[in-house]
């Protein structure tokens, strides 16, 4: 009854989304602030009579807005149902088993190996440096590889890699191998690599409305890259489902990306609260990896990650714990509103 492909799958485990009691949710890197008020106005005025029709399969208006925002042309832009969907299409489109393994860091977004199993791709994990930075020289040494992917900032560490180092890696790569840069969190640090897409036609950058634009519930992501890469994603998408992004989500994305002031204000608040949280935890003796994301990866001076996770959950605060090698010493704490983080700090003071 079940296909061989299905039986070998080990699916991704998303962070808890408890539906019963209300927690302070610091576990899935959602934005603690609501989306732009422009999104709210839009939803109040939605034309129900439009919902009997299929949405624009190409998300044309949203693509145009995104292109304007990054000063690229619409044929550099692909829109999908969350960036997870675009990642999946990209693994399908650009990585080929016959070319060797897909390369990614040993500690990174745990969905990457899942896509590899979904598409029967081999992968090779490249060890991070001791300070959790990515060792690009190890990537450059690999002679046979199907492609490379990593997030910048990395997850769950929050560590930022310099654009100059990414450029060096691209220069060392074969031009017929794609580098996918997952910039889900890049708005919380200073350096996006989007301008490199003109120079490197094998660079695909994937971004999302879920984190910095407070629209995780709307499922909108996008990719920026050379028109050839965008066209490949479109071919893959239209061989799977032409209408991935629903009518209302397309409109929400348009409103969110128009509201630059609100976006800048939210991002600034989160960065300020991140620095506050890091400062307070350091005073309590925690070790924090420098973070350019809307989360921090933090280690208590004595207690294990699992212990901290359990103690916080009892107090009504959810964080994320990863039961894997050195990661299990730490917890990943998403940055909430300032008052949430003050409460969090006052609770961990008692640990």
Backbone angles phi and psi of 185, in degrees to 5: -115, 10
Question: What CA–CA distances, in Å, run from 326 to 107, 124, 305, 315?
Answer: 9, 19, 10, 25
Strands (E), the chain: 24-25, 77-80, 101-105, 123-126, 145-151, 178-182, 203-208, 221-225, 287-288, 295-299, 317-318, 320-321, 331-334
For ligand PLP, the binding residue among 208, 214, 244, 291 (CB under 6 A) is 208
Give the footprint of ligand PLP on residues 222-251 (CB under 6 A).
none
The whole-angstrom distance between residue 230's C-alpha and the CA centroid of its chain comes to 19
Residue choice 221, 225, 253, 292 for contact with ligand PLP (CB under 6 A): 221
183 binds ligand PLP (CB under 6 A): no
Of residues 12 and 351, the one with the C-beta less far from ligand PLP: 12
Residue-by-residue DSSP string for 281-315: HHHTT-EE---SSSEEEEE-SSS-HHHHHHHHHHT
Q: Is residue 109 within the footprint of ligand PLP (CB under 6 A)?
A: yes
Q: Pick the binder of ligand PLP from 35, 55, 147, 151 (CB under 6 A).
A: 151
Per CB under 6 A, does 95 bind ligand PLP?
Answer: no
Q: Which residues within the stretch 272-301 sit at the binding site for ligand PLP (CB under 6 A)?
A: none
CA distances from 308 to 67, 131, 239 (A): 43, 22, 45
Member of 184, 251, 296, 335 binding ligand PLP (CB under 6 A) = 184
Q: Strand 320-321: give its sheet, edge to edge.
A: 287-288, 295-299, 331-334, 320-321
Instruction: Select from 42, 67, 72, 216 the one that contacts ligand PLP (CB under 6 A).
Output: 216
Can residue 83 be called a binding residue for ligand PLP (CB under 6 A)? yes
Q: Does 334 bind ligand PLP (CB under 6 A)?
A: no
Of positions 35, 39, 84, 309, contacts ligand PLP by CB under 6 A: 84
Q: Give CA–CA dist 14/110, Å, rounded.
A: 10
Q: Of residues 149, 155, 197, 252, which one binds ligand PLP by CB under 6 A?
A: 155
| DSSP assigned state of 214 | S
If the CB atoms of residues 107 and 200 are measured against ligand PLP, the closer one turns out to be 107
Nearest distance in Å: CB 84, ligand PLP: 3
Task: Name 89's Cβ contacts closer than 8 Å, sequence gap at least 6.
Answer: 80, 233, 236, 237, 240
Count of chain residues binding ligand PLP (CB under 6 A):
13
Taking the complex as a whole, how short is the minimal distance between the CB of residue 158 and ligand PLP, in angstroms? 11
Helix axes 247-258, 60-70, angle to 10 degrees: 20
Q: Least distance (Å) from ligand PLP to the CB of residue 196?
A: 19
* C-beta of 196 vs 216, nearer to ligand PLP: 216
Chain residues that interact with ligand PLP, rule: CB under 6 A: 29, 82-84, 109, 151, 155, 182, 184, 208, 210, 216, 221
């Amino acid at each position: 009854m079940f296909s061989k492909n299905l039986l070998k799958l080990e699916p991704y485990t998303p962070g808890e989304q408890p539906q019963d009691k209300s927690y302070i949710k610091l576990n899935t890197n959602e934005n603690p602030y609501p989306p732009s008020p422009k999104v709210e106005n839009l939803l109040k005025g939605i034309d129900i009579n439009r919902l009997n029709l299929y949405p624009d399969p190409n998300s044309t208006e949203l693509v145009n807005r995104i292109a304007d925002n990054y000063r690229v042309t619409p044929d550099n832009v692909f829109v999908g149902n969350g960036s997870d969907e675009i990642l999946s299409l990209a693994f399908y489109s650009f990585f080929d088993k016959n070319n060797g393994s897909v390369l990614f860091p040993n500690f990174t977004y745990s969905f990457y190996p899942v896509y590899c199993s979904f598409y029967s791709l081999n992968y090779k994990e490249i060890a991070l440096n001791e300070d959790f930075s990515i060792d690009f020289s190890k990537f450059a040494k690999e002679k046979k590889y199907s492609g490379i992917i990593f997030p910048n900032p990395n997850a769950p560490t929050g560590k930022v890699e310099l654009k100059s180092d990414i450029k060096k890696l691209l220069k060392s790569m074969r031009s017929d191998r794609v580098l996918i840069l997952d910039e889900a969190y890049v708005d919380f640090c200073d350096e996006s690599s989007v301008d490199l897409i003109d120079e490197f036609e094998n660079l695909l950058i994937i971004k999302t409305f879920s984190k910095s634009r407070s629209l995780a519930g709307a499922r909108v992501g996008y990719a920026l890259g050379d028109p050839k890469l965008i066209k490949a994603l479109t071919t893959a998408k239209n061989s799977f489902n032409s209408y991935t992004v629903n009518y209302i989500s397309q409109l929400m994305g348009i409103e969110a990306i128009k509201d630059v002031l609100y976006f800048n204000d939210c991002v600034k608040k989160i960065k300020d609260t991140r620095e506050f949280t890091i400062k307070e935890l350091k005073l309590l003796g925690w070790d924090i990896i420098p973070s350019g994301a809307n989360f921090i990866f933090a280690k208590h001076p004595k207690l294990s990650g699992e212990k901290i996770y359990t103690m916080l959950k009892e107090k009504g605060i959810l964080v994320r714990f990863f039961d894997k090698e050195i990661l299990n010493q730490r917890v990943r704490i998403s940055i909430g509103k300032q008052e949430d983080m003050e409460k969090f700090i006052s609770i961990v003071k008692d640990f």
